[in-house]
């Protein structure tokens, strides 16, 4: 699940794969500029990544922090 705000584009989840791990990075592009008006809202929604190879027993980590992540199928 990823939280984004009123000026954010739809979040993207990027996966980097090795034989032992899958590292995930969330990318959010925020619109900016003098003429941009952003609604004061917050959205929480799922993000998904398609892997080149089945996850199997590989560890999933946050690419930024290195923390291990829990995985929920879907």
Number of Cβ atoms within 10 Å of the Cβ of 22: 21
Residue 74 has pLDDT above 80, yes or no: no
Q: Which two tokens stand for residue 49?
A: 């990544």
Q: What is the pTM of this model?
A: 0.79
Interval 18-34: pLDDT, tens? 999 999 999 999 988 89
Q: Checking phi first, is residue 20 left (phi over 0); if not, alpha (psi -120 to 50) or beta?
A: alpha
Residue 73 has pLDDT above 70, yes or no: no
Residue 59 has pLDDT above 90, yes or no: yes
């Amino acid at each position: 699940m990823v939280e984004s705000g009123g000026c954010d584009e739809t979040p993207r989840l990027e996966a980097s794969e090795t034989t032992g791990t899958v590292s995930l990075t969330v990318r959010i592009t925020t619109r900016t500029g003098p003429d941009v008006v952003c609604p004061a809202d917050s959205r929480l929604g799922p993000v998904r990544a398609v892997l080149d190879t089945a996850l199997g027993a590989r560890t999933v980590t946050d690419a930024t922090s290195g923390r291990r992540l829990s995985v929920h199928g879907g």
